[in-house]
Structure 1
C-alpha cells in the first residue's frame, strides 16, 4: 500500500494563484491605490538641510583625491538632496508602493542595471523640510505610525481574500484587531533591534572605516550581510500573523522554520518577485512622466504588488508547519 504525499505547488503556479486571487477580489487594490496617490500628490519630505554638510565633504574628497567612489557618493547625495523622500520613510512596508526604476548606462565596462528613481521635489506641492536630526526622526516616526493602520487593514483584507473567508463584520473587526496587535509587536521588535543593535554597530563600523578603511569596510559588509539574512528568515512574519493568526513570537518562529525547511523554494519565490517588481518598475518609470501615465502606474503597481503579496501568503500557507484556515493540515 502506497502513501500519497501532498504535492507542493510550483512557484509559477503559486504566483498564478496569487494574481487569480486578486482578480476575484479587486477591492483589495483600494488601499495601495489611495496610498500611492497620496505619495505622488500629497506633501513631500526633504532632508536637504541635513545633507548639505555631507554633500560638501564628498565634493571636497572628489576634488582632492579624484576618486571615483567619492564622485559617485557626491552624485548620489545630490540626487537625495533634490528628491521627495516620503516613500523612503517607511519601516512598515506592508502596503505595496509605486517604485519607479530606470536602467543606467554601462560604466567602466559593467552591465547596465536598473536602479530605483526617487521622485524629484515639486515646488508647487507642500514640502516638509527636516532642518535637524530631531525633526527628521519625528517625521520618520509620524509617517511610519500613519501607515500602520493602513498596513493592518491591507494585510487583513489580503489574508481574507487568500483564505476566501466569508465572515461577519464583527468577526472581521476582531480578526483585524488581533492582526494589528501582533503586527505592532513585530514592528516594535524591529524598531528595538534597529535602535539597540543595528545603529550602534553601524556607527562603530563607520568609525573603523575612518581609522582602518579595509577593516571598516569588512565590518560593514558583515553587518549588511547579517541584516540581509535575518530579513530573509523572518520576512514571512507578517504573513504568519495575517494568514496563520499567530501572535508575534510564534509568527517569528514559524517564519524562521518555514524558510529553513523550504530554503531554496523561498529564495526562488523572492528572486521571481524581485525580477517582476523591478521589471515592472522600469515600465512605471517610463509612465510617471505625465498624469495619464502616472494613473496607469499607480493602478498597475497596486495590482502587481497585491498579486505578489497574495502569492507570498499562499506560499506560506502551503508550507507552514501549522494549521491554517482553508488548508487540510491538521
Structure 2
C-alpha cells in the first residue's frame, strides 16, 4: 500500500500548497506559493504548477500519481470540477479537476477544504466517526463526518457554516449576505470589524487602525484588541453551537491559521460559552491534531480512499 503515490492540494484564499504522499499518508515532497491574483484559469494553472513542484521535490513525475485529492475553498460545483465564485478571491470560477486530470492522467477527487480537514482528522489522526472540522483562516468554514462518512452535499457545499447568521442585519460578508459568521471571524474580516468597534464604541487604542491585521488583534495587549477578541469569542461560540445542533459531533476540531496560532484565545471562549448555547451535550473542543496540514493531509486521504473517506476504498 505504501508504494502507491498520491497527490494532495490545498487551495486557500491566501496560500496554495501541494504534497506528494505514499499510501500511508507520509509526505515525500511538498511545495507552497501564494494563491495568485487573476482569473480562474490563472489560479488553475498555478494549482497544476504547484503540484508539479511537489512532484519534483519527491523525485517523481505527475503521471506517476495514482490519484490526486484537492481540498478547495468554496462554494464548489462538483459536476464541473470547479470552485464557483469563492467570496475571498477575485476569480469567479476556478477549474480544478480537468487541468489536473490532463496533467496527471489519473482520478482527481475534489472536496471542500473543510471537508478535507475533517477527513484528514478522521482518517490520519483518529478523530473518531463523528466530528466537525472548523477552520478560522482567511474565511470561516466547516466540514462534517457523520456516522463515519464525510458529508459532501449536492454540489459539494455541505456544512458551509461560515455563512450562518450570528448577527442579524450585521456587517456584510464577502458573499454579500449580512451578519454571517465569516463577516466577523474570518481573518480577512477581523481588521474591518475592529475598526467598526473602535468608531462605534469609542474604545481607546494605541493600535494603528489604518495598518491593522488579524494577527495584531489577537496578539496585542490593547483595550480595543481585547474587546474585539471578546466579541469574536461570542460569535465563534454561536457559530459552533449552530454546527453542533446541525451535526451532533462528538468532537469539534479547530484548524486554520487563526486557530492554530491563537489556540487559547479561540478555543477558551468557545469552551466556556458553548454549554449555555446548546440543547444537547457539549462536544469536546480541541485543536486539529494535524495543525496547518489538516486540509492538505485530508486531500491526501481523499485521494487514497476515492473521496469516500473509507480506509478500505481508493483508486
Give the TM bin, normalised by the shorter chain. Answer: under 0.3
Higher helix share: 1
Instruction: Normalising by structure 2, report the TM-score.
Output: 0.27
Q: Which has the larger radius of gyration?
A: 1
Q: Which has the higher contact order (CA 8 A, sep 6+)?
A: 1
Q: TM-score, normalised by structure 1?
A: 0.26
